[in-house]
Chain A
Amino acid sequence: MASVDPKYAEGIDEAIALDHVTAEEYEVILKELGRAPNIVELGIFSVMWSEHCSYKSSRLHLGKFPTTGERVVYGPGENAGVVDIGDNQVAIFKMESHNHPSYIEPYQGAATGVGGILRDVFTMGARPIALMNALRFGDPSHPKTRQLVSGVVAGIGGYGNCVGVPTVGGETNFDKGYNGNILVNAMAVGLADRDKVFTAAAREIGYPVLYVGSKTGRDGIHGATMASAEFGEGSEENRPTVQVGDPFTEKKLIEACLELMSEDAISSIQDMGAAGLTSSSVEMASSGGVGIELNLDHVPQRETAMTAYEMMLSESQERMLMILKPGSEHIAERIFKKWDLDVATIGVTTDTKRLVLKHKGEVVCDLPLDPIGDKAPKYDRPHLPSEVRANIDPNRLKAPAHLGEALYTLMTSPDMASKRWIWEQYDRHVMADTVASSQNPADAAIVRIHKSDKALAITTDCTPRYCYADPYEGGKQAVAEAWRNLTAVGAEPIAITDCLNFGNPERPEIMGQFVGCIEGMAEACRTLNFPVVSGNVSLYNETDGQAIPPTPAVGAVGLIEQLDQRATYGGLEAGDVLLIIGETHGHLGASLYMRHVEGDEDGSAPPVDLAVEKRNGDFVRAEIKAGRAKIVHDLSDGGLACGVADMALANMIGIKLAYNGDLPVFAWLFGEDQARYLIAAKPAIAEDIRRNAKAAGVPVDVLGLAGGDAITINGGHGLDLIRLKTGHDGWLPALMAGEAAAAE
């Protein structure tokens, strides 16, 4: 073993404080090494053992997810999940959070979030074909909200538009629970040939280690540990650790990597994400069971006099590490030079199972790799279940005087108002394969598989207010809604990725939310045959003791085998009959109606009966495939009434609703019961669908008729569509114009 210069062992106490290693963790390091680590080594332990990289609070529970299935090629553990979509092709996808950096520097934080998730996907050999994002901001009236919205949206657009990957969909919520911690979750989906998928594990010894992409600077040092810390006063001073994204370089990197991947040159490849060179080299070597030796003198550097510590912990963007097949260096050099990107051989794989770093002729790190992974802390943190809430009895509420006005209130609320101001800033069509995006009335984005009649359907979903009311049911609902959205466009749901955003796991009630959500999600994934193939955990989303609502965002991918067998909720014509599939019980607990009309966030989350969900969804999908159901919309936020309003607005055709059942009409309209769909069709076809549903034992009812220029309920309570459209479209532009207007 090479000896470590003792001069690197100075200042360890400060380093512990600086590096967020606990005293107990430091003891483990001492025991494993049989000596004190030097500063470089300690830095490596601290990032690898950070929450962000080690999942030390969450690992125990993530194992509860089902991760295998007929179509799963690679599940969690790789850079992204890989699923088979037939014809020797795979879809590769993942969702990841960039919450903390986006709060501190919204533009760059969001931009580098997009860059990072794209690298996770093309690292595995996929050409990225779609981006999605799930955003949660604080109360619209909070003084920081507008600036955060405009920065995050510009950052996502600035990066995605420039790299030329369409941003096809996503969701945006506003809730005071995110005032101090916004959520920026970005998802990327890529396409590759099944036999051309690349992984990270370095299995061969004596192979060259290549560094490609941008030069290394001092940006983002300790980004991984920042992402694992709670915010407090003064966090806004954290700017130096925020990285700057360069989408132009990313675009070149995508093209260069894909070009090199088409040659027989790469043995394994890993992007440099959180904890940069450290995590990429450690993960490649340890997952393949080899050692790795790097000479840091050869790392392309943007700044002068960088130390080994800085180079290993830098989070400069747009960099990749690859292990080449020996003798292929010239191919890589030719391609990367062509794209004007830095390329350097910086090391070699070894048989030592150690990470050895040399800098300026000295060994500055010599660590056994096994303990970094095997001895990483893994906590079984205490967790308390959330309090059980009672359901809201609608009979105890006063019915609104005018149901149309109540609907107007919901449809113009921050939750339901059009998010056009946001998605208009995203290029949704580049690559020319977008079939449905945010601009289309469809429950999921649809992106055609290039030069084919197949398509992927993509959605992101989560209803944090349900997760807060009941983590277990909320977890189930997030997965079920994603499954339902894919189903509603006619896709076969394949698998999900997730972004688990929670508060401080050291608080038992937060850990209780985390465990509850995971167990609910896992149950839904099992019943719906909808495995988890990739994901990420973001904890400590908490400011001064205020945690965000539990937000396990789900990103889901499904397959449409024949593009003409798909559904949207456009194409409605006067005279069409509206059907509702699924049972309506008027569940108002934790509903948007309660929030916006009663001003009450209380009540239980709607229960999700997964067997019913599956039965109803399978029926709807079959009707779409058979060509009968062409106009379909799932029912979720705001219940039946908001689903109907979406459909009416998308087509600017009124809808006459009729109800004479036992529920109070407002509970029938606004209850958020699950497993429901709206289908519109010509009368004869609607009758066929109704008969088929009856025969299949699927609850079905006639809701009303399309026609006129208003939404009416039992012949009254009219809500004029033009007025509704003006209010629905106008809310966000008015909010965002606040800045400019106030400035005049």
Chain B
Amino acid sequence: MKARIHVFLKDGVLDPQGEAISGSLKHLGFEGVGSVRQGKLIEVELHTADAEAAHDQVKAMCDKLLANPVIENYSIELSA
């Protein structure tokens, strides 16, 4: 199965890249744009069909490497 991991900055951590995007969107004339946060999406293919085991494994990956707990949160999405 495939894991999609979204890594994003915690609330309260300044995101200058997101701010630049937000400014640029407004400049381009997109109305009603509020705050923009930039994160990353990591796709990992897993050789298992067991969703629970997969989730545990991916969570460990996030805690050990994929996200920096000082500044980042993450969410995990699994699909077959």
Complex contacts, B1 vs chain A, CB 8 Å: none
Bound: A739/B25 CA distance, A? 12
**A713-744: which have CB < 8 Å to B?**
739-740, 742-744
* Contact string against A for B residues 1-32, beta-carbon threshold 8 Å, 1 for contact and 0 otherwise: 00000000000000000001001101100000
Interface centre among A740, A743, A744 (most CB of B within 10 A): A743
Please give, as numbers and ranges, the residues of chain A lying within 8 Å of B27 by CB-CB distance: 739, 742-744
Contacts of A739 in B (CB 8 A): 24, 27
Determine the chain A residues whose CB is within 8 A of the CB of B20 once the complex forms: 740, 743
Kindly list chain B residues whose C-beta atoms are within 8 Å of the C-beta of A742.
27
A588 to chain B, nearest CB (A): 42
B31 shortest CB reach to chain A, Å = 14
Cα of A744 to Cα of B26 in the assembled complex, Å: 7
**Complex formed: what's the CA distance from A740 to B23 in Å?**
7
Q: How far is the CB of A411 from chain B (nearest CB, A)?
A: 31
Q: Which residues of A contact B26 (CB under 8 A)?
A: 743-744
- The CA of A743 and the CA of B36, in the complex, are separated in Å by 14
Q: How far is the CA of A86 from the CA of B70 in the complex (A)?
A: 53
What's the least CB distance linking A604 to chain B, in Å?
45
Q: Give the residues in chain A near B23, CB-CB below 8 Å.
A: 740, 743-744
Query: In the complex, A397 Cα to B20 Cα: how many Å?
Result: 48
Task: Provide the bound-state CA to CA distance between A744 and B27, in Å.
Answer: 7
For the complex, give the distance between the alpha carbons of A380 and B20 in Å: 52
- Closest residue of chain A to B23 (Cβ to Cβ) is A743
A740 CB contacts on chain B under 8 angstroms: 20, 23
CB distance from B58 to the nearest CB of A (A): 25
B18 to chain A, nearest CB (A): 13
Report A742 CB to chain B, min CB distance, Å: 5
CA distance A463 to B24 in the complex (A): 36
A263 to B57, CA, bound (A): 44
Residues of chain A within 8 A of B24, CB atoms compared: 739, 743
Q: Which of A648-704 contact B (CB under 8 A)?
A: none
CB distance from B15 to the nearest CB of A (A): 15
Q: Measured between alpha carbons, how far is A740 from B20 in the docked complex, in Å?
A: 8
Residue of B nearest to A742 (CB): B27
Q: In whole Å, how far is A147's beta carbon from the nearest beta carbon of chain B?
A: 11
Question: Once the chains are docked, how many angstroms separate the CA of A226 from the CA of B26?
Answer: 36
Q: Which residues of B contact A743 (CB under 8 A)?
A: 20, 23-24, 26-27
Bound-state Cα–Cα, A499 to B20, Å = 36
Alpha-carbon separation in the docked complex, A742 to B26 (Å): 9
Inter-chain CA distance A742–B23, complex, in Å, is 9
Chain B residues lying within 8 Å of A744, measured Cβ to Cβ, are 23, 26-27
In the docked arrangement, what's the CA distance between A65 and B27, Å? 51
How far is B23's CA from A739's CA once the two chains are assembled, in angstroms? 9
Measured in the bound complex, the distance between the Cα atoms of B27 and A739 in whole Å is 9
Q: Which residue of B lies closest to A744 (CB)?
A: B23
Interface of chain A residues 311 through 347 with chain B (CB within 8 A): none
Residue of chain B at shortest CB distance from A740: B23
CB distance from B11 to the nearest CB of A (A): 23
Interface 0/1 of A279-303, CB less than 8 Å to B: 0000000000000000000000000
B35 to chain A, nearest CB (A): 15
How far is B19's CA from A744's CA once the two chains are assembled, in angstroms? 10
CA of A740 to CA of B26, assembled, Å = 11
B19 to chain A, nearest CB (A): 10
Nearest chain A residue, comparing its CB with the CB of B26: A743
Bound Cα distance from A521 to B66, whole angstroms: 55
Q: What is the CB-to-nearest-CB distance from A158 to chain B, in angstroms, rounded to a whole number?
A: 15
Chain A residue at minimal CB-CB distance from B27:
A743
- Compute how far the CA of A203 lies from the CA of B26 in the bound complex, rounded to whole angstroms: 62
Give the distance in Å from the alpha carbon of A508 to the alpha carbon of B20 in the complex.
47
Q: Which residue of A lies closest to B25 (CB)?
A: A743
B38 CB to nearest A CB, Å: 15
Q: Which of B12-65 contact A (CB under 8 A)?
A: 20, 23-24, 26-27
Complex Cα distance, B20 from A314, in Å, reads 35
Task: Give min CB distance, A569 to chain B, whole Å.
Answer: 37
Tell me the bound Cα distance from A317 to B26 in angstroms. Answer: 37
Please give the distance in Å from A151's CB to the nearest CB on chain B. Answer: 14
A743 to B24, CA, bound (A): 5
Chain A, Cβ-Cβ closest to B21: A743
Nearest chain A CB to B45's CB is how many angstroms away?
A: 15
Min CB distance B59 to A, Å, is 28
Give A264 Cβ to nearest chain B Cβ, in Å. 41
CA distance A740 to B22 in the complex (A): 11
**Min CB–CB distance B23 → chain A (angstroms):** 4
Bound-state CA distance A186–B26 (Å) is: 36
Distance (whole angstroms) from the CB of B28 to the closest CB of chain A = 8
A63 CB → nearest B CB, Å:
51
Give Cα A739 to B20, complex, Å: 10
Closest to B22 in A: A743
- How far apart are A144's CB and chain B's nearest CB, in angstroms? 16
> In whole angstroms, what is the CA distance A636 to B25 when docked?
43
CA distance A669 to B40 in the complex (A): 56
Distance in Å from the Cβ of A304 to the closest Cβ of chain B? 15
A203–B24 CA distance with the chains assembled, in angstroms: 57
How far is the CB of B71 from the nearest CB of chain A, in Å? Answer: 22
Minimum Cβ distance to chain A for residue B24 (Å): 5
Besides A739-B27, A743-B27, A744-B23, 10 other CB < 8 A contacts?
A739-B24, A740-B20, A740-B23, A742-B27, A743-B20, A743-B23, A743-B24, A743-B26, A744-B26, A744-B27
Q: Could you pull out 13 A-B pairs where Cβ atoms are within 8 angstroms?
A: A739-B24, A739-B27, A740-B20, A740-B23, A742-B27, A743-B20, A743-B23, A743-B24, A743-B26, A743-B27, A744-B23, A744-B26, A744-B27
Binding site for A on B (CB under 8 A): 20, 23-24, 26-27
Closest 6 A/B residue pairs (Cβ): A743-B23, A743-B27, A743-B24, A742-B27, A744-B23, A743-B26
